């Protein structure tokens, strides 16, 4: 008698579907990673710690999760250097580049727009 595994050779019951492509960095990005790439903090662990404190809001909703999904158009409220900044995500980061490149990732939201 052939081994049990040989019955499944060529059988569609064992075929796996194609893996779902990772959409991170195309459709969304982790909050802590984006903050680090946008140069709000020097270290990514500092960004994660800031989020864990519950100080950051995404679209007016408080979050304590560093892995929260951030998308283009989201509005962030965050405390930085003893002030509260409100910014809109303009782009997702491909890398942590120089400061002029980091400034293109967001735009300041005027108080009248809120």
Give the pLDDT score at 113: 62
Give the pLDDT score at 23: 73
Ranges of H-type helices in 11-98: 31-37, 44-52
Give the pLDDT score at 78: 92
Kindly state the tokens that stand for 106.
């967001």
For 28, residues 6+ apart whose C-beta sits below 8 A from its C-beta are 69, 70, 71, 92
Whether the Cβ atoms of residue 28 and residue 34 lie closer than 8 Å to each other: no
Give the pLDDT score at 66: 96
- Tokens 């270290």: give the residue: 43
Other C-beta atoms lying within 10 Å of the C-beta of residue 82: 5
DSSP summary character for residue 99: H
Whether the Cβ atoms of residue 104 and residue 91 lie closer than 8 Å to each other: yes
Residue pLDDT tens, the chain, 114 long: 566 655 556 555 555 555 545 577 788 999 999 999 999 999 999 999 999 999 999 999 999 999 999 999 999 999 988 899 999 999 999 999 999 999 999 999 976 565
Give the pLDDT score at 81: 82
Please name which of 64, 56, 65, 50 lies closest in space to residue 89, comparing C-alpha atoms: 56
CATH 3.10.290.10 fits 22-113, yes or no: yes
């Amino acid at each position: 008698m052939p081994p049990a595994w040989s019955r499944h050779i060529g059988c569609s019951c064992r075929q796996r579907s194609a893996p779902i492509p990772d959409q991170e960095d195309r459709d969304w990005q982790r909050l802590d990673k984006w903050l680090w790439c946008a140069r709000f903090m020097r270290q990514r662990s500092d960004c994660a710690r800031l989020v864990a404190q519950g100080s950051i809001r995404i679209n007016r909703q408080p979050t304590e999760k560093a892995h929260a999904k951030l998308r283009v158009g989201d509005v962030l409220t965050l405390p930085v250097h003893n002030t509260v900044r409100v910014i809109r995500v303009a782009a997702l980061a491909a890398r942590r580049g120089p400061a002029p490149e980091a400034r293109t990732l967001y735009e300041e939201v005027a108080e009248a727009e809120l």
